[in-house]
Every structure is written in structure tokens, then in C-alpha cells.
Structure 1
Amino acid sequence: MLKIQEDLGFSKEEWDRIQRAVYWGEPDRQITSVTMCTSPDHSTFIINDFKASYYVGEELHATIVAKDCTGRPKSYGGDFFQAKAYSNKLNAGVFGEVLDHHNGTYTARFTLPWAGEAFVAIRLIHSSEGVQILKQHRDMDPDRVNFYGFFVGKNKQGAKVEEKVDCNVKWDGVAISGKGSCCCEYPDVRTGLMWHCRKPPTLPCNTLVYYTHSVYKNHMTDLEKEIMDKQHVNRWINGDSRMITVLASNSTLGVREACKPGMPTPIPAGFYLDDVWTSFVCATRHFNAKDKTKCLKDHHIYIMGDSTSRQWYDFIIESVPTLRRMNQHTIENNGPHMAVDVENNIDLHYRSHGTPRISVARQIMADLHYISNEIDDMAGGPHTVIVFNVFAHFTTFPLSYFAYRVSQIRRAVVALLRRAPETKVIMKTANTGHKDFYRSDWLSMQLDRVLRETFNGVGVYILDVWQMTACHHNTEDIHPGPVIIKNEVDILLSFICPT
């Protein structure tokens, strides 16, 4: 078996770059009381050099001052703030970049992309003390999440029996919970990955049929629980509430070229106006049902990942009337699923990524394939589109494990593009949504940085949905609402059918 912990699939230079991308400042002292933590009630922000009016395309800066629960200004950084400029009247929003000065102050930078009114809003997602808790438990808790395996077979009397045991990935820093002898091992030869379970009481290892998510285990101390409670997490902070007046300008925000692979993602990557996203990455457009059918004609589209990418699969089917779902008698969450349009020669597929997958519903083990293996088995070509995403089910696992999974996908993509360079490969980034101890946006953002760094320069399309979900007026959800999904799918189709 490959010692994957010693070889994550990166050069030293690449791994150093990834480490720099995920670096995050921490408190410079021991935290002994919740009063020492950054407080959303006491922290403030003010717009710098406020003017009576601005022009479209101008930058706006705001200074954030982090204060603890006693109202004392903080002297170190590491807080996770999220910023946006918005207008509820115009259904408009744009993501703001937050720069940490590592002294308790931060600068939020915005580009003002629409004419009319705008306001600034800033949230404290996690204090630096909360981020430290998330990081420590991610790195040190080997069994924060566990899984059950269900073995099905017959006993000596010929009666059908089912036996349940604890399972998990096999990786340094991950442990199988529960009691029982160890282990049934299920290695994947191509990836070098291993799933393993405790041995069932009577049935053999080859009778594993289903698995589910078991339980989340909370190993936080009482102080850590207090720091991570709702009073201190995901709260809007008080600040400058003045309305920003933005005037139309003859200048443009840049002429955008046709979408192509490898284009960088700026901040901001675009903005909402009247709930319609305008991209700053490339010349995207908006598609009606007829346009979608024309774009997808003669294409084979393979979507692989989690339930946020399955939203794309479902939305495309619902908005393209000629597509018909095929009943493959599979689990709804996992797939594989398929829809076809025979007349226009379109086939659309969805498949979940391989284990681990958090789900209380039973999953069929045989249906969970590693994305890299699926790509290895594809011929590719000018009529093939591959869409993938990975993040939400990996937040409780060591960064090294996620990095290895991503490196395997990269290896498969590089090989595919070498043998079939006209294949379109589209990577969907992580999106915002969860704020809790196990699935926090900070944990997702860390995985997202690994993902982006890994595919830097590979030649895939990067579809940024982090900013699209962070600056919309809808309440954040790990499964974004239809208006956001529509805009995301419009960008996807713009990649497939550039102007």
C-alpha cells in the first residue's frame, strides 16, 4: 500500500505555497476567559474618507476595529470577518476583501459596481479565539466524525442478518470509534486510499453493503463552547451606516473577454444587481430554456461532487424542458443519476464523490466512486464537459487528507487534458453556508484555498461561488436558493458556450 502520508502528490514548492495560502494568525496569548475574545457587540467599523458621492468603479475602504468583550481594542489579528456592500432596494451586492493588519485592525476594500445607493455591512464570523479552536480540533481530534458500516448476509441457519460496525477513512490523525476487533480494509489501488471498518461479529468483510454517517463528537471544553456559542459567532457588527451615493460613470469596469480555462478570480469576481450576477472574470451571459438547449446540444456533461453540485444537475433538468430523467433506481443523494434529450443528443450525469460522505440516510458503498477514478475512465473530447467540486464533507478531516484527495483529481485531470485537450473541465469552488463547530465557513475556506492552489495553472475553468453566496441578500445556506443557482448555472453554460 502506498504510504500516502509521505507523498501527498505535490512538489515541495507547491506544498509550501499551499501552506502559505492556508496560514492564519492566532492569539498571541493563552485565552482564559471569554471576555478576552473579539466581541461582535463591541467591534466597529468606519468608512474611510467618506465622500458625498462616488462614481461606478471607484474603490471604497473601511477600517474595522476589533474589540474584546470588555470593549478593549484587540492587539492581535486572526478574526474571520466577512464584508459586503449592498442595496436591498436594488437587490444588489458585492463581496468585500478584508485585509488583516495583525494588530486588531482590518481594512475592508470594496469596488462600487452599480449606480445608486449602497451600504456597507460587516460580520464577525469567528473571533480569532474561535478560529484557534476550529484549527486545533481539526488537527487534533481523530474521531470528531465517524461512520457506520452495515454488513448484510446470512447466518449459519440461512437467515438474513445485518450487522453494524464503526468505519472511517484510514489516515494519520483519523481514528475508528467504537468497540470491536479491527479491521476490514477496503483499499483503492488507483488512488492509494483506504476505507476501513471494525470487523462485524459474524459476517465476513466482503458483505459490506451500506454505510451512514454515525455521530459528531464534541470534545470542546466549557470555555471553548462558550467562545463558539451563538452570541459570538456569525454576528453583524455595529458601524458606519451612512448611505453611499454612487453616480454613473463613462468609464467601464473593464472589457471582459470570452471565458476560457485558467482565468484568475479577482476580488470582486462580480456583483448582483436586480438579483442578476455580472461577472468580472469573463464575458458571461444569461440563458433562457431555448439557449440552454442550444448550448448543451451534442454534449455529454458529467457533474461529480456533493449536494451543492447536484443542485446544478437538478436546476438544469428543471429549466431545460427537453431533458428527461432516467430512473436508475439509485439513492437520491448519491446517484448515479442521468437525464437525456435524445433529439438534441444531450446526456447529463450526476454522481457523488467517494467516501467520506456525511449523510444520515443509507448510502450504497458500491455507488460511491472517487472522482479521480471516474475521470481516469473517461475518453474526453470536444463534446465532453466535466464538472467537479469537493469541500463540504471534508471539513472535519486533516488538511493533508483533503490535499491528497485533491491532488489525485488533479493528476487525473492533467492526464485527461493531455490525451483529450478539447475536454472542458470546470471546478466549482466551495460556497459559504455553515457556521458551526464541525462545518464552519472558516474550515470550508481553508479547503477552498487548497483546492484553488492545487489547480492553479492546470487549465481548468474555475467557477467561483464563494463570493456569489457571501454577498447575496438571501440568508446563507449551504444549499443556496434558486436565484443564486440560476446565476451559477448561467456562468457554467457561459464556460461551455462562450460568446
Structure 2
Amino acid sequence: MGSNTQVYGLRKYVFFTCSIWITFCLSLWQMNCFQIRKFHLPSPKQILPKNSSLTISASEMGISDEEWESLQKALDWPGPDLQITLDLSTSPVHSTFSTVEPKKSYKVGDNISVIITARDHNKNLKRYGGDFFKAKLFNSQLKASVYGEVVDHRNGTYSAVLLLPWEGQAQVFVRLEHSSEVVQILKKYRESSFPRSHYKGYFGGAGPNKTRISEVVECNIKWGEGSWSKSNCCCEYKDIKTGTVWQCERPKKLPCDKLVYHSKGGLENPLNTFEKQFFAKTLTNVRITGDTQIINILPNTAGNGTRERCRSGLKTPVPAGFYLKDVWKSFVCNTQQFDSAQMLKCLQNKIVYMIGDSTTRQWFEFFESKVPGLKRMNLQTRSYGPLMAVELKNNVIIHWRPHGVPLRFSVMPITNLHYISNVIDNIAGGPHVVVVFTIFAHLVFHPLTFYVHEVAKIRQSVVALLSRAPQTTIVIKSGNTAGYKDIFQSDWYTLQENIVMKEMFRDIDGVIYFDIWQMTSCHYLTENIHPGPVVIANAISVFLSYVCPV
């Protein structure tokens, strides 16, 4: 009897102990499963890299607190304020558009309204905005198209009012470039210190024995606390006028003053496995379905009215113009088409300074190929510049040079890279001087606050130039759409830069803002960082219409 009692007690003890152990294991398993699920579905805050956010004051950007507040309002972009998941993100397959109260026919000059409805991958209506849609009207046979601005109603619906500017037929085209979830990821890394773009500095000097010592190190901008740096840091190069600081890893053998060449380096993708899913090709830059009806547009006998001469100070409407038979018809002012002889006549006795990136170099190369007698001078530089072409008989000089670092070009002398504001400071100006500048494509890899800083310095120099030579023609060429739809060079970055540039020069008299974004956004050619020849030809005609208005 006693032994049986002992055995029963032992069994009870073992059962009780095992029960506790099993309960503990189950709890641990549930905790781990929860953590795994949480890892795959992190909230926006959870996917932020540590110490990534840059805090920059308005004074560091070179603007007032009031202007920065105004800029932030203009740049405001809604988005999800909750845990983001792939299935709850915007689906291009399930999102649709529809025409409001469609008619059998319209007249030239009428508008149509389009409603875009965003849905997630579960076919549910989105409840917040922030998606990056693009809309246009087009006719492939007529080579006609017009841009439509998409308005975000911040509740999952969007609208676009499309002008009907040509006689014939047209169709609506809407595409989802990025979901609102992707835009939030883009925004997060744009404002982080993560170096998505790397650069190289080439150091070299002649030694006492006539041999050449050279070293290649990594370089990048210095911007804010926690910005890019290396353990063996750093050679710093601060521009006196702009205050911009470029830094390079300190060479092992050579001093900092031996920096000779600069080039682009590699690209570094900051996206984690979870974030990369949102950038899949099936989700990015996809045409969405909608009304398939052909829009019939009848002639309008009322006429289009007259447009004023092209000059500075004119507002850029939406749309700013349209293509018909591959010719851009501007709504801003009375633009003309220029053949080669007319180009030469317009440029007679002119000095044209073009500063920026390879998109302004396209303009230089266009003039070089089209203007009779214009010849490039041999400056012993390759395509990276600086470049100069002259036509002696009619006294035409055209310059092009790249802007300062950061710049993703091939190996080139660092001394050839001048900040736009410094170049403008060295131009005397006058009625015979034309200045064109652009800065966008190479700045999208860096914080928007840094872009604001650069634009603030350019504005300061432009104001000074107009003060000493008010008859100078100054043209700001906006950023254009591109083929990149990724974490590195998304069009959303360029769109935000264009807003900054336009807002910061809004009240500067004597400046022409040239919106090429609309021209590239609605054209039938595949979007490319370097617009196709037909777009360049139309852009040059618009530009010359400001130089030689009628």
C-alpha cells in the first residue's frame, strides 16, 4: 500500500512537471511565431534604420523658418499612418478609373473629368491617399498628347481634369507609378543619412623620383550630424561661397591637397527584404484599367484666342501645352518653331551659358548639330565638359559645363566641377547674355534639405546677377521624367525637387521657369533621363521663343 502511494505521487509529480514544461514551450512557440509575423509586417517606424534621420534647421539650409514652413506645406504628401503590409498596399490590377458623365462628343477646348479609385490587393477600397498616379490624354495616330494633373483627395480617390485640345479622337491613359506605401519608403530614405550613392576621389602627385603615387578613396557630401563618414576620416573641402562641404576618406600616403579627379562610385540599396517587395515590376509604373471608350472631339469655331509674347514672369498652367503631330503647342506664350537658319539668326550676338547635367548637355549638342557654322572648340575635354562652341561670322558663343559635386559622371578633373551659384557670380550679364541652368538628377540621391540649400545659394546669385544686369535672360529648366522607378532615382524625387525650385523662385522677377516635366510626362516615347530627339527639338523651340520673342 505504501509503495503504491509513492508511485502514484511520483506519477502525479511527473505529470504536473511535464504540463508546466509543455505550457512553457507552447508559450515560447507562440511568442516566436508572433515575432516572425511581426518581422514580415513591420510598421513604418520599425523599418527605420538606426540613427538615420537627419535634423537640419532652416538656417543651415540658408532660408528663413517661415519659408521652410511654406515649402513643407507645398511638399506635403499624404500616406499611411499605420502598419503597412503588401496585401493592403495599392494594387494596379484592382485600381480603376472612370470618366465622369461621358458624352458622345465634345468640342476642342472642353474638359473631361476622370475619377481614379485605388484598391488594395484584396480588392478593398483604400482609405488614405498618397499614391503616385500619372494621367494623360493621347492619340497615337495624330502623335498628340496632353498632360493631366492628378489631385489627391486623401481618401483613396483621385481626380484629373483633362483638356481636349485637338480635333479628332482621344483616349485616357492612367498609370500607377508608385503606391502610397512605396512613396513612404522613398521619403524615409531620402531624409536618412544612408548613402545610396557613392563617389570616388582620385589622389595623385609627382614624387621626388619622378614616379607618380596615386590613391582612390571614397567621397561624399557632409550634411548634418551622422552623415556619411569613414573611420579614417576625413579630408574636407568646403566651398567658401556656398558653404557646401565635400569630404573624402583620408588617403594613406598622400595629403588632402592632392585630390585631382572625381567620379561616380557604386549604388547601395538600403531596402530590406520586406521593402523590396513593394518595388516589384508588376507593382511599379503599371497602366491601370478604366473606360475604354474613344473620345470624339469636334472642332470649335470660337477659336483659341491670342497668346502674349514669351517673357519672364509668366505663370505655367496645367496643362502648359500639348503635342499635335509631334509639335508642342504652348499655352504659356506665343512659341515658334525654329529651323536651322532661324536658330542662327536668334542666337546672333549672343553668349549662352548652360550649366547643369547631361540633360543640358543634350541642348548643347543639339545646337552643335543644327546651327549652321557652329563649331566646338577643342578644350581638351571629353563629353564631361566644360564645352564651348562658336560661330564667328554671327558672333555666337555657347558654353556648357557640369554643376558641382555630387555628380555621377565618369572620371574627370575635380577643378572642372563648379557650383552653379559660383558660375553665375562670374557672369557679367547683359541683354546679349542667356543663362540656362538645371539641377535635379544628381541630387535625388541626397536629402531634400540639401537640395533646398543648393537652390537657396543659386537664388542668391541669380538675384545678384539680375540686380547688376536686369536685361539678362535667365532660364530655369525643370527636372524631367525618367526611366528610373526605383529607390535610387524615382520620378517622385524629381517631382518634389521641381516643387522646391518653383516655390523658391516664385517671387523672383526676371526669371523664366521652363516646365519640361509636362513635356516628357505626356509624350509617347518611353520615359528616359535623356529625353528623345523630338522632345529636345520642341524644348529648344520653346527656349528660343523666350530668347527671341515675337
User: TM-score when scaled to structure 2?
Assistant: 0.88
Measured in 2, the distance between the counterparts of 1:401 and 1:256 equals 38
Q: Quick check: 1:448 aligned with 2:498? A: yes
Q: Quick check: 1:152 aligned with 2:204? A: yes
2:64 corresponds in structure 1 to 11
1:343 corresponds in structure 2 to 393
Contact 1:143 1:174 in 2 (8 A): no
Contact 2:59 2:65 in 1 (8 A): no
Gaps of 5+ in 2: 1-55
What CA deviation, in whole Å up to 9, does each residue of 1:257-278 have, x standing for no partner? Answer: 0011011110000000000000
1:63 corresponds in structure 2 to 115
- Kindly provide the amino acid, as one letter, of the partner of residue 72 in structure 1: N
Measured in 1, the distance between the counterparts of 2:200 and 2:228 equals 10
Measured in 2, the distance between the counterparts of 1:54 and 1:283 equals 26
Alignment of 1:281-360 (within 5 A): 281-333=332-384, 335-359=385-409
Q: Please point out which of 418, 424, 429 is paired with 1:375.
A: 424
Q: Please point out which of 486, 492, 499 is paired with 2:537.
A: 486
What CA deviation, in whole Å up to 9, does each residue of 1:42-90 have, x standing for no partner? Answer: 1000111000001111111011000111211111100000000000011
Shift of 1:158: 4.6
Contact 2:58 2:64 in 1 (8 A): no
What CA deviation, in whole Å up to 9, does each residue of 1:194-242 have, x standing for no partner? Answer: 1111110010111101111112111212121000121111110011111
Measured in 2, the distance between the counterparts of 1:234 and 1:267 equals 22
1:99 corresponds in structure 2 to 151
Measured in 1, the distance between the counterparts of 2:93 and 2:304 equals 36
Q: Please point out which of 304, 318, 326 is paired with 1:267.
A: 318
Contact 1:173 1:398 in 2 (8 A): no
1:414 corresponds in structure 2 to 463
Change (3 A) 1:103 1:25: same
Shift of 1:369: 0.3
Contact 2:361 2:400 in 1 (8 A): yes
Contact 1:5 1:172 in 2 (8 A): no
Identical-residue share of aligned pairs (%): 46
Contact 1:139 1:173 in 2 (8 A): no
Measured in 1, the distance between the counterparts of 2:202 and 2:252 equals 12
- Kindly provide the amino acid, as one letter, of the partner of residue 353 in structure 1: H
What CA deviation, in whole Å up to 9, does each residue of 1:432-469 have, x standing for no partner? Answer: 01212110000111111101111112120111100000
2:487 corresponds in structure 1 to 437
Measured in 1, the distance between the counterparts of 2:57 and 2:430 equals 31
Shift of 1:161: 1.7
2:473 corresponds in structure 1 to 424
Runs of 4+ in 1 over 6 A off after TM superposition: none
Shift of 1:124: 0.3
Measured in 2, the distance between the counterparts of 1:278 and 1:77 equals 33
1:134 corresponds in structure 2 to 186
Measured in 1, the distance between the counterparts of 2:194 and 2:304 equals 48
Q: Please point out which of 255, 260, 263 is paired with 1:209.
A: 260
**Aligned with 1:14: secondary structure?**
helix
- Kindly provide the amino acid, as one letter, of the partner of residue 216 in structure 1: L
Shift of 1:155: 4.9
- Kindly provide the amino acid, as one letter, of the partner of residue 326 in structure 2: D
Q: Quick check: 1:191 aligned with 2:257? A: no
Which structure's CA Rg is the greater one?
A: 2
Shift of 1:174: 6.7
Measured in 1, the distance between the counterparts of 2:222 and 2:303 equals 53
Change (3 A) 1:52 1:498: same
User: TM-score when scaled to structure 1?
Assistant: 0.96
Change (3 A) 1:151 1:228: same
Measured in 2, the distance between the counterparts of 1:275 and 1:439 equals 27
Measured in 2, the distance between the counterparts of 1:7 and 1:263 equals 31
